[in-house]
Amino acid sequence: MSYGDDIHAALVAAGVGLVSYVPDAGHRRLIERCQADPSIRTVVLTTEEEGIALATGAWLGGLRSALLMQSSGVGNCVNLLSLVRTTGVPFLTIVTMRGEWGEENPWQLPMGQATPAVLRECDLVVHRCDDPAEAGETVAAAARLAFGSSRGVAVLLGQRLVGAKAFVEDER
């Protein structure tokens, strides 16, 4: 999961000082790197939309931030993404995808398949990365766009990159 190291380096280079997240295995290495970095404050969220409000407040307080979430969490954010669109506050999110390559959990398919379109409809620019060698540069480009143009930008880390999780149904 070296892509987590590369993304961490890109966030540091972009001056991100706050990273919020809902725990996610696909972001595990990145979260660990951010937690260990004294230049980054990390905040565990109970739901993903809290990260949008936190990012807005951080920006107003002079701090750049990033929100880490899974594609299933994007659905929780639709209403609050209007805050990004309406205020013009820069917003950077990195989304690990589910419901794609190798997915076994049928509950992940609807939001996983809808995530790119939902984010675009909420006026975010969407970048996608499926190659671990391109993760750092993709996040770096997204951060430049978000913070340089005061736009919402999402980087989707494809399921081929983060890996498919096994799903075991209850056999009752």
For residue 172, pLDDT over 70 is answered with no
Sign of the torsion angle spanned by Cα atoms 9, 34, 117, 51: negative
Separation CA 31–CA 20 (nearest Å): 9
pLDDT band at residue 139 under the 50/70/90 scheme: very high
Q: Which two tokens mark 142?
A: 């997204």
Percent pLDDT > 70 in the chain is 94
Which distant-in-sequence residues (6+ apart) come within 8 Å of 169 by Cβ?
Answer: none
Average pLDDT of the chain is 92
- The domains of the chain, with CATH numbers, are 3-162 (3.40.50.970)
pLDDT band at 166 (very low <50, low <70, confident <90, very high): low
Does the CA dihedral 128-131-136-141 come out positive or negative? negative
Most distant CA atoms of the chain, gap in Å: 53
pLDDT tens string 46-58: 999 999 999 999 9
Answer whether 62's CB lies under 8 Å from 71's CB. Answer: no
Mean pLDDT value across residues 27-45: 97
Structure tokens that stand for 163 in this block: 């890996």
**Predicted TM-score (pTM) of this structure:** 0.92
Token pair, residue 7, equals 């993304």
Given pLDDT bands bounded at 50, 70 and 90, which one contains residue 103? confident
Which of the residue ranges 86-90, 91-95, 112-116, 148-152 would you say has the lowest mean pLDDT?
A: 112-116
The predicted pLDDT at position 162 comes to 80
* Calpha distance 89→83 (Å, rounded): 8
Confidence band for 160, pLDDT divided at 50, 70 and 90: confident
Whether 85 shows a pLDDT value over 70: the answer reads: yes
Over residues 24-31, the mean pLDDT reads: 93
